[in-house]
Structure 1
Amino acid sequence: MAKMKGFRKLTNVAEALQIALKECSRVRVGTEMVSAECALGRMLAEDVIAQHDVPPYDRAAVDGYAIRSEEAFSASQSNPAIFRIVGVAEAGGGRKRVGPGEAAEIYTGAVMPEGADAVSMAEDCEREGDEVRVLRAVAKYANVSRCGEDIKKGEVVFRKGHVLKAWDIGVLLSIRMREVAVKTRPKVAVISTGSELVEISDPRALDETSLVDSTRPMIKALLAKAGCDVVDGGIVHDEIEAIRDRISNLAAQADLIITIGGTSVGGKDLVPDAVGGVQGSRLIFHGIAAKPGKPLGFGIFMGRPLFMLPGYPVSALVGYECIIKPMIASLTGTPAKEREKVKARLTRRVPTTPGVRHFLRVVLEREGEWIKAKPIALTGSGLLSSVAKADGLVIVGEDKEGLEEGEVVEVELLGD
């Protein structure tokens, strides 16, 4: 019979994060060219310099009539300037020409005709057959978007390290940029361990007594959201050689590896042992001073950083948020987005252990001028629904020895 083990030492959360950041700093993020249309959320590997003016020509900013401004400088209702209409200028329709005393009907976005330097708005004009009366004075370049007024050729549009947003894609295309150089996404492999686990697609999942693997898909989704390329390592049974072989195979495919399950102190918690006995591998810490999240481990396997998350969903989620999420942000150079925080009063006392960082799930309710924070699921690292139901987290520091009823706490709001 396999013996129960114990954690030799618990590493505090801050120290665990620093260890992970240091070890993962050796991971090299490369550069690749991607289509500008598919570059949303990617980090630029070099400055983007405009090769074209935007707009690339003087163009009409309104619908109206393109004219020579000097011929309508003193136009008014009582003294209109009269022009002969010689054509129509439309967006994408090529360039027209107007001479003295002539006007071109023009639409927003159209190239300004040669000889014209202003547009009289349609509502300031009266048309009669082939003539138009301009009823208001027009200054030079009135209602004209000048060439390069948005972006000038040679201008640095985005700096290296900028993370592209949706509207940035439009800017890239407006300067005729088809591809951009971006940082490669970290490739992260994720596997679950546990002979009891089945995939949701497995027919055995129809059996109510089966245990469907829900933690791995959750972690994969979080990694994808953080900008990683995820390699799905599937489920591996509780056999130390099988675990070791699966991790070895993934080490050749990924920059980082995450295992889920098999990290506690039970007889079937084999992942930390699987790290030993392999060249280029070592266990750096096993167990952190966090609740939930205690069984988290970290090491190096065949030169690859290896994060060992607990199998219980909430415990795994806490480990991801505490250690992996900020590590990914550091690796990609993208600052981890801080959650919005609110102040609230606890509805009941919560005991905590000094020296351990506690993550308390709460539901928020407004009562008069105050927000009340109601703790839920005080125990149970496997109760994933407690996170889905929670509005936020109260992070209780290692220096605290419990929180009192009515105490004002800071709540990190759980959102997208």
Structure 2
Amino acid sequence: MSDEGRRTHGFRRRTPLGAARERLLEQVTPHGRTERVRLRDADERILATDAVAERPVPHYRRAAMDGYAVRAEDTFGASDRSPAQLRVGETVGPETATRVHTGSELPEGADAVVMVEETETRGESLTVFDAVAGGENVAPVGEDVEAGEALYEAGHRLRPSDLGLLKSVGNEAVEVYERPRASVVPTGEELVETDPEPGEVIETNGQTVAQYVERWGGEATYRDIVTDDEAALRAAVERDLDHDVVVTTGGSSVGERDLVPEVVDDLGEVLVHGVALKPGHPVALGVVEGTPVLMLPGYPVACIVNAVQFLRPTLREVGHLPHTDPPTIEAELTRKVVSDPGTRTFARVQVDRDGETVTATPTRASGSGVLSSVALADGWVVVPDRREGLDAGDVVAVEDWEWSG
């Protein structure tokens, strides 16, 4: 396709961000692969089956207080004025009590515990000043959890406290969904890994995206750089269609060397090319043989913005992971933020706190190719499509796009 053809074909119309994401997720099917993992390795994993208690908690009758294990009937009527007189022994029997501590097993023959503060001992003689009922101050078998009790349903995201409970009820491992697998392919003939010559650029986008994949609950295959060659790009995409998602960085626009969308459209279908967001409108979204292919722009900031907006929800959907909103803090803008009507704008800001006052200052280096503008920012402010910028003094929500929840 000629340069003129690319320009007129590529971005004649930019798809709204929400519509583009919806069109992409319509092509995403949660995978069904599962694996059994040890509890120590299951934090933040997603249960593939219901988790059931293999044994009760407690699994024995235990004393809930420090005191004396007794037969409740031997204390009936006991009071400060008319205490019951028992003796202390090694076992519990008629008018015989045994010393117990919180959590210790209730002796055979006992059905209650008298708190130690309601007793007085002299040698083997025990005076009880308060009557107890059967079962009082005793934790029965299964009081916390019964054997066979369903604890968590499939789809639950496991937390450390969940794993502690599962261990306490006898579970040693759980069935979870495998982590979603993403292939990350950096593209561009100008990219090098080290020691750039004039005109060459250190590859960072692929590394950054691969690390986001891991942070967002997936497993990344970080591929070697692929040059701007149709045959090489085609082979790179076809090689990784066994992954849950293929991500390319660079070559997604409409220039002479932006070949990735054409390759994907030839292999499958480009669903969206050009999205109404800034920075990063030259993103393309496609599908090949049922595998989503995300073509992220080569400018670092644009790449990150689009990874958050499209790759993260794709990974969450395919991997049965919950869709969660980023954490935000409210802050007052110190300077105006300019945006184009009809375009979702992501303005990087630095946050300052002075007592209870929180302010957000747009970073001066705001170009989509300036990686430091995100690396040194504390978050970004999203300007809605319908707004024509934000004014100094506006109270805004600063999103932390680095979150992993």
Whether the TM-score (by the shorter chain) exceeds 0.5 is: yes
Opposite residue 12 of structure 1, the aligned amino acid is P
1:359 is paired with a residue whose SS is strand
- The aligned counterpart of 2:57 is 54
Opposite residue 33 of structure 1, the aligned amino acid is R
- The aligned counterpart of 1:92 is none
Opposite residue 106 of structure 2, the aligned amino acid is M
Q: CA deviation at 1:143?
A: 2.8
Q: CA deviation at 1:77?
A: 9.3
Q: CA deviation at 1:358?
A: 0.5
Q: CA deviation at 1:17?
A: 0.3
Q: CA deviation at 1:308?
A: 0.8
Gap runs ≥5 in structure 2: none
Q: Are 1:149 and 2:149 counterparts?
A: no
Give the Cα separation in 1 of the matches to 2:163 and 2:63. 24
Q: Are 1:219 and 2:209 counterparts?
A: yes
Segment drifting more, 2-11 vs 330-339: 2-11
Question: In the TM superposition, what whole-angstrom CA distance separates every residue of 1:70-113 from its partner, at most 9, and x where no partner exists?
Answer: 33441659846442231xxxxxxxxxx52223333334333211
Percentage of identical aligned residues:
37
Question: In the TM superposition, what whole-angstrom CA distance separates every residue of 1:149-189 from its partner, at most 9, and x where no partner exists?
Answer: 11123432112222111111122222222333323322211
Q: Are 1:258 and 2:261 counterparts?
A: no
2:257 to 258, 268, 277: 268
Q: Show the 5 A alignment for 1:298-337.
A: 298-337=285-324
> Would you say the 8 A contact 1:79–1:135 is kept in 2?
yes
Give the Cα separation in 1 of the matches to 2:372 and 2:81. 72
> Would you say the 8 A contact 2:34–2:175 is kept in 1?
yes
1:99 is paired with a residue whose SS is coil
Change (3 A) 1:76 1:195: farther
Segment drifting more, 254-263 vs 108-117: 108-117
Change (3 A) 1:264 1:104: same
Q: Show the 5 A alignment for 1:281-292.
A: 281-292=268-279
Question: In the TM superposition, what whole-angstrom CA distance separates every residue of 1:303-340 from its partner, at most 9, and x where no partner exists?
Answer: 32100111222211111221222233333343322233
Q: Are 1:85 and 2:89 counterparts?
A: yes
Give the Cα separation in 1 of the matches to 2:172 and 2:153. 17
- The aligned counterpart of 1:405 is 392
Q: Are 1:98 and 2:92 counterparts?
A: yes
Change (3 A) 1:208 1:126: farther
- The aligned counterpart of 1:229 is 219
Opposite residue 240 of structure 1, the aligned amino acid is E
> Would you say the 8 A contact 1:191–1:235 is kept in 2?
yes
> Would you say the 8 A contact 2:284–2:296 is kept in 1?
yes
Q: TM-score by structure 1 length?
A: 0.84
- The aligned counterpart of 2:28 is 24
- The aligned counterpart of 1:14 is 18
Q: CA deviation at 1:290?
A: 0.9
Q: Show the 5 A alignment for 1:173-192.
A: 173-192=167-186
> Would you say the 8 A contact 1:233–1:250 is kept in 2?
no
1:220 is paired with a residue whose SS is helix
Change (3 A) 1:256 1:415: closer
1:98 is paired with a residue whose SS is coil
Give the Cα separation in 2 of the matches to 1:108 and 1:50. 24
1:105 is paired with a residue whose SS is strand
Give the Cα separation in 2 of the matches to 1:138 and 1:212. 77
Opposite residue 136 of structure 2, the aligned amino acid is A
Give the Cα separation in 1 of the matches to 2:170 and 2:113. 27
How many residue pairs get aligned? The number is: 397
> Would you say the 8 A contact 1:365–1:373 is kept in 2?
yes
Q: Show the 5 A alignment for 1:108-147.
A: 108-122=102-116, 125=119, 134=128, 136-147=130-141
Give the Cα separation in 2 of the matches to 1:181 and 1:301. 30
Q: CA deviation at 1:284?
A: 2.1
Opposite residue 291 of structure 1, the aligned amino acid is K
Q: CA deviation at 1:234?
A: 3.0
> Would you say the 8 A contact 1:75–1:81 is kept in 2?
no
Question: In the TM superposition, what whole-angstrom CA distance separates every residue of 1:35-86 from its partner, at most 9, and x where no partner exists?
Answer: 3443222222232333432212211234443222333441659846442231
Change (3 A) 1:368 1:39: closer
Give the Cα separation in 2 of the matches to 1:76 and 1:400. 77
Question: In the TM superposition, what whole-angstrom CA distance separates every residue of 1:111-157 from its partner, at most 9, and x where no partner exists?
Answer: 21111122344555555556655565444333322111111234321
Question: In the TM superposition, what whole-angstrom CA distance separates every residue of 1:198-250 from its partner, at most 9, and x where no partner exists?
Answer: 44xxxx35989964333223222222232222222232233222222122211
> Would you say the 8 A contact 2:326–2:400 is kept in 1?
yes
Change (3 A) 1:238 1:127: farther
- The aligned counterpart of 1:91 is none
> Would you say the 8 A contact 2:27–2:290 is kept in 1?
no
Q: CA deviation at 1:18?
A: 0.9
Opposite residue 275 of structure 1, the aligned amino acid is V
> Would you say the 8 A contact 1:186–1:228 is kept in 2?
yes
Gap runs ≥5 in structure 1: 87-96
